Amino acid sequence: MIATPGTKLQVTAAGIQTENVCRHYVMGQNLIRAVDGISVRMLGGEFVALLGTSGSGKSSLLNLIAGLDRPTSGAVVVEGRNLAKLSRAELAKHRLYTVGMVFQSFNLIPNMTVLENVELPLRFAEVERARRDSLAREVLDRVGLSNRLQHRPSELSGGEQQRTALARALINRPKLLLADEPTGNLDSRTGTEIMNLIRECNEDLRMTVVMVTHERALAEQYAQRLVFLADGKLVNDQPNDQNLTSTTAQGGGSREGV
Structural domains in the chain plus CATH codes: 46-59+87-246 (3.40.50.300)
Instruction: Please give the average per-residue pLDDT across 123-147, as a whole number.
Output: 90
Residue 69: pLDDT over 80? yes
Q: Which residues pair with 237 in a beta bridge?
A: 227
Instruction: Please give the average per-residue pLDDT across 210-230, as a whole number.
Output: 95
- Tell me the backbone φ, ψ of residue 103, rounded to 5 degrees: -115, 170
Residue 8: pLDDT over 90? no
Residue 10: pLDDT over 60? no
Residue 11: pLDDT over 80? no
Going by pLDDT thresholds of 50, 70 and 90, the confidence category of residue 160 is very high
Q: Which residues pair with 87 in a beta bridge?
A: none
Instruction: Please give the average per-residue pLDDT across 197-203, as a whole number.
Output: 93
Cβ-based neighbours of 9, under 8 Å, separated by 6 or more:
1, 2, 3, 173, 204, 205
Of residues 75, 101, 58, the one with CA closest to residue 236: 58
Report the chain's mean pLDDT, rounded to a whole number.
88
Cβ-count burial of 89 within 10 angstroms (0-12 exposed, 13-18 middle, 19+ buried)? Answer: exposed
What is the reported pLDDT for 124? 86
Going by pLDDT thresholds of 50, 70 and 90, the confidence category of residue 4 is very low
What is the reported pLDDT for 105? 87
CA angle 242, 37, 39 (to 5 degrees): 40
Of residues 179, 258, 214, 256, the one with CA closest to residue 19: 258
Q: How many whole angstroms separate alpha carbon 21 and alpha carbon 67?
A: 13
What is the reported pLDDT for 241? 82
Instruction: Please give the average per-residue pLDDT across 156-184, as a whole number.
Output: 93
Going by pLDDT thresholds of 50, 70 and 90, the confidence category of residue 223 is very high
Going by pLDDT thresholds of 50, 70 and 90, the confidence category of residue 130 is confident
Tell which wins on pLDDT, 105 or 229: 229
What is the reported pLDDT for 244? 65
CA dihedral (190, 44, 168, 4) positive or negative: negative
Whole-model pTM: value is 0.86
The torsion of the CA quartet 51, 55, 57, 58, rounded to 10 degrees, works out to 30
| Distances, alpha carbon 129 to alpha carbons 92, 107, 136, 195, 226, in Å | 21, 23, 11, 31, 41
Residue 1: pLDDT over 80? no
Q: Is 34 in contact with 10 (CB distance < 8 Å)? A: no
Could you tell me where the DSSP H helices lie in the chain? Answer: 58-66, 88-93, 114-124, 129-142, 158-170, 188-203, 216-222, 241-249
Instruction: Please give the average per-residue pLDDT across 92-112, as a whole number.
Output: 92
